[in-house]
A and B are shown apart, each in its own frame.
Chain A
Amino acid sequence: MKHFDVIIIGAGVTGAAIARQLSRYSIKTAIIEKETDVSFGTSKANSGIIHAGFHSPPGMLKTELCIKGNRSFDILKEELGFSFERRGELVVAFNDEELQILKNLYAQGIKNRVHYLELIGTARLREMEPNLSEDIIGALYAPTAGIVEPYEYCFSLIENARQNGVAMFVNEKVAVIAKQLFGNFVIETDSGLKVSARFIVNAAGLHADEIASLAGITSFAITPRKGEEYLLDRRVGNLVTRIIFPVPTKDSKGMLVIPTVEGTVMVGPTAENINEKDNFSTTREGLRCVFENAKKMIPGIRLHDVITSFSGLRPVATGDDFIIGTTSVQGFINAAGIQSPGLTASPAIAQHVEDILVKEGLSLKVKSSWNPKRTPFIKLRHSIATRDYAGYIKNTAGNPGYNKLVCRCENITEAEVTEAVSRGHTTLDGIKFATRAGMGRCQGSFCTYRVLKLLEQQTGIPIEKITKKGGGSEIIKFPMGKGAPHE
C-alpha cells in the first residue's frame, strides 16, 4: 500500500490549487479524483470570473479568501501560463432602488479593501461599454476583476503539481476511509485501490459531505444549486469588454454577461436549488430566463448566436460560508462548501489549508527541485489573433504536427491535441477542455473523427471504446470494418 503525507480528495480547482501549493515541499502528496479527468465536476462549468470581492460582507471566510485569491492571479498566470485578463466588472442599476444597492455594495467593497472601486455615471459607462442598455442609470465598477477559463486554470495547476511530484489517481471513487491505530488513514476506492495517508484534505466539492461522513463527520450537508450557462459565438465577442452584473439577489450574484478570454461571450448562470447531485440538464425555462436577463442589460444579444449550453452545480454548504478547517477526526481537514467565489479564492484556500496542516504538525520544507513554471501550449489561434506568423514558424520548427489543422473553428492543430493526450487527457471532453478542439461553433461535427483517430493512435484505445467523459459515454459504438477507402 502506498503511503502519502497528504491525500487530497477531489481534483477540481480547490483540490488542484492545494495540490500545487503542497507540491513545492518535500512531502508526499496525492490527489484522488472520481471522474476520468481533472476539473470534470463543478469546476468545468464555472463562469471563469476572478471576482473583485465586494459581493460578500466582511468577516466571512469567503470574503477574506476572495480578496487574497484575486491578488495572486498575476503571478500564477506568469508561472503557469494560463490565460487571465483583468477586464474589470460592472454591476449595473436600472432604478434608484438599485442605485442604493450599488452604494451599499461599494461601501461593503471598501470595508473589504477592494482596490480602485468606483461608482460611475452613464456618460462614462457608455464610453466603456457602448452596447449596454440605455435604461441603465449607473454602475459600480471594479477594475480588479478578471476572467480565466476555469478548466485551463485547473489543468495548469494539476500539471504543475504533477511535474513537481504529486501523485494523481483518476477514475477512483473513494468508498472507505478508515483510521489506523497509529493515526494514519487508509483510503479505499470502489475499484480496489488502497492508499494510506497522515492527512486527508476533503476537496470533494458537491460530494464533500459524503466524503466527510465516510470519516464519521456529519456536521454539514451540501446541497446542489444549479446554474445554466449559454455560450455565444465569437462573432459577437465584442459585445462587452467587461463582466456585466445585475444587482445581486439573495441567492446569487445574478445572471451575467461574461466576455471570455477566448473571445466568446457567456450568459448565465441561473440559480436553482435542486435535489439530485447528478442533474446537469438545461431547461427551456433556464434559457428563457437567462436571455431575458441578458437582453435587459445588453439588448444586442441574440438567441441565434448560442453555440452551446451547459449547467453546473454549486456545492452550497450549511451556513453558506466556506467550511475550511480541522474536524472532530484528527488529520481530516475540510475544504468544503466552496461555491462562488471559490475559483477566485482557490490560491488563498490552498495557502489557508497549508497553514492548517502546519498547525496540525506537518513539517514543510521547500524542495530545491521545485519548478513553479509550467510549459504552456503553443496555440495557433494566438498567432492568428496577433498575425504573428513569423513567430509561429519559429516556435513550431521541427514539429510537423503544428502544421496540421484538426479543429477548423478554433484553429487547433494536431500537435496541440497530441500534447493534451500526453498531459493525460484521454476523453473527448478532456481534449476539448485542454485544447478547445470541438468547442467552437460546429461543436465537433468536423473535428471529432480526427480527434478520435489521434486518441486511438496515441493511447491505443480503439475508437469505439473512446468516451466523451468516462465509462458508458462512448462516442461511436460499433466498428463495421476497416478505415476510409480513399486513404
Chain B
Amino acid sequence: MNNNINVAIIGGGPAGLAAACTLYEQGICDVHIFEREHVLGGVLFQCIHNGFGIHHFKEELTGPEYAERYIQKVNKTDTFVHTDTAVIDLYRENEALTLVLLGSKEGLQVFTARAVILAMGCRERNRGNINIPGSRPAGIMTAGFAQRMVNLEGYLPGKEIIILGSGDIGLIMARRLSLEGVNVQGVVEIQPFPGGLTRNIVQCLNDFHIPLYLSHTISNIFGKQRIDSVEITAIDNQLEPDTKNRFTLPCDTLLLSVGLVPENELSVKAGVILDEATRGPVVDANCMTTVPGIFACGNVLHVHDIVDYVSEEAARAARTAAQFVNKSLTDKDGIRMLAGNLVRYMLPTKVYTGKPTIVSLRPITPVEDIVLYAKRNGEIVYKKKYQKILPSSMIQFELPALSGIEPVEVFFAGEET
C-alpha cells in the first residue's frame, strides 16, 4: 500500500465520521479514518438513550442510531476505514505530517498525510484530577466507564450508588441505573447550578425522585477494600467546605461525572498549541490549528453538549481541510477575536476578512436577561438577547463577514440604551 495519503482523520467517532462524509462531498480522495476501537462510532455506541439528532436530523435518535446513519453514509464513500488501529505518534518531518499507526492486522506502520483532521474526542476527569481525599478502595469509577460496563458489557457496578458531579453522563447514568433497579442515592454538585442540560435534570433526576445536592461536595471516602460510604459537605460561596454542615451516606459505588477534557496528547506531539480554557487546540476560523495542515473538530477541540454540533463543526473543518489539500485555502492576516465579560472560552481565536464565521462560546456562570455583543471599535457587529445563559449550554452564533484587521470583542452585558 502507498503510505503517502491525502487526508488522515484520527478518530472514527461522530466528528471523524462527519469529516469523512464532507471530504467525500468535496471530491477529496484518498481519505483514511484511523479508529482505535473495533468499530466506528466512538462513544455514541454506549449512549443507548435517545435525544441525539434533534437538531441535525430533526428526529430523536439513540446514540447508536445516530452513529449508524453516519457509518452508512461513510460506507457509501471511498474512504479507507482502519479500525483497531491506534495512532501512537504524530509529528512533522520535512514538511510532511507523519503518523505512526499500530493496527492489530497491519502491525506498526508509518504514514504521511497532506492534511490531518484531529477528531480524538475527550476523556473524563477522574478522582485524581479533583483530589477527593479519603481511602482508596475499589468501587470508584467514572460515569462513562460505568456506562460502558452496563450498556455494552452487561455488568452493574453496584447496587447503592452515589454520583459526584451533575455532568450529562452522570445524569444519564442516574436514570439508566435506576431502571436496572440500582438505588441511586443522589447526585452531588459542587456548583450552585447543575453541570448538565436542563432536560437531563428533569428527565433523569426529577422523574426518578433522585435528590440533587447543589453546592455540596464529597469530602471523604471510606472503605478499605470496596467503598462503603462517603462524607458529603456543603460548600459556601467561596467554594470552601462548611465543616458544620456535613453528613455521611452509605454506598457501594461512587460514579464521577466531573467534567471532560479534550484528549490532545497526540496534538501536542505534533507541536499544536493548546488553549488554556478549552484544553483543545487554538484554531482559526478554518478550524486549523497552529500547525499548518492540522485541523481539529468535535470534542478534541472543545467539549460540546450535543453531538449534532460536533457533526456540524466537523463538516466545517473538513471543508477547509479540502481547500487546504486543493491549495485554495489562502486566508492571511485574520481578525483577532477577544473573549470578554462572562465568556469562559470562545473559539475561533481568529476570523478572516469577508467570510461569515460560526463562533462557539460558553458563559462563566448562569445569568438571566443578558445580551451577547460582538463589538469592534465601539461598533456593534452582532447582538443577541438571552433570557438565560448557562455554562452547560454552549452558545453558537454567526459573526457576519467583516473587513479590516481591528479585533472583535465578544462579551455579555446588560441591554444598552
Contacts and interface: CB of A to CB of B under 8 A. Distances in A.
A303 B129 CA distance: 9
Nearest to B224: A278
B356 interface: no
B375 to A, nearest CB: 32
B376 interface: no
A198 to B, nearest CB: 36
B88 A405 contact: yes
Contacts of A396: 107-108
Contacts of A484: 152-154
Contacts of B38: 486-487
B126 A445 contact: yes
A311 to B, nearest CB: 8
Given A309-B131, A442-B126, A392 B108 contact: yes
Contact of A479 (B64, B148, B154): B154
Nearest to A397: B107
Interface stretch (B50-58, B133-141, B290-298, B405-413): B133-141
A389 B105 CA distance: 17
Contacts of A476: 149, 155-157
A387 B99 CA distance: 12
A384 B157 CA distance: 35
Contact of A442 (B86, B104, B108, B123): B123
Interface in A345-397: 380, 384, 387, 389, 392-393, 396
Contacts of A11: none
Give the most central of B86, B106, B134: most A CB within 10 Å. Answer: B86
B103 to A, nearest CB: 6
B124 interface: yes
B83 to A, nearest CB: 11
B124 A380 contact: no
A113 interface: no
A392 B88 CA distance: 13
Given A393-B107, A403-B108, A443-B126, A478 B159 contact: yes
A308 B149 CA distance: 23
Given A309-B128, A445-B124, A449-B145, A478 B138 contact: no
Contacts, number: 158
A303 to B, nearest CB: 7
A477 B131 contact: no
Contact of B89 (A303, A387, A393, A486): A387
Interface in B272-291: none
B13 to A, nearest CB: 13
B107 A403 contact: yes
Given A400-B104, A445-B126, A471 B225 contact: yes
B45 interface: yes
A307 B128 contact: yes
Contact of A280 (B36, B126, B135, B156): B135
Nearest to B89: A384
Interface string A459-487: 00001100111111111111111111111
Interface string B196-218: 00000000000000000000000
Nearest to B48: A485
B150 interface: yes
B226 interface: yes
B133 A284 contact: yes
A231 B129 CA distance: 10
A443 B127 contact: yes
A25 interface: no
Given A307-B128, A445-B142, A403 B104 contact: yes
A163 interface: no
Contacts of B250: none
Given A287-B131, A486-B39, A480 B108 contact: no
B226 A448 contact: no
A411 B138 CA distance: 24
Contacts of A423: none
Contacts of B138: 467-469, 473-475
A403 B102 contact: yes
B108 A310 contact: no
Contacts of B137: 468, 473
A478 to B, nearest CB: 4
A467 to B, nearest CB: 7
B64 to A, nearest CB: 8
A282 B103 CA distance: 40
Contacts of B343: none
Nearest to B264: A235
Give the most central of B84, B103, B135: most A CB within 10 Å. Answer: B135
A380 B134 contact: no
A467 B224 CA distance: 13
Contacts of A472: 224-226
Contacts of B156: 476-480
Contacts of A483: 153-154
B252 interface: yes
B105 to A, nearest CB: 8
A176 to B, nearest CB: 24
A291 to B, nearest CB: 10
A193 to B, nearest CB: 22
Contact of A446 (B84, B102, B107, B123): B123
B268 interface: yes
Given A235-B268, A404-B84, A389 B108 contact: yes
A266 to B, nearest CB: 12
7 contacts: A235-B268, A405-B88, A449-B148, A468-B138, A468-B225, A473-B138, A487-B38
Task: Give 6 closest A-B pairs by Cβ, nearest first.
Answer: A308-B128, A472-B225, A468-B138, A473-B138, A473-B225, A405-B86
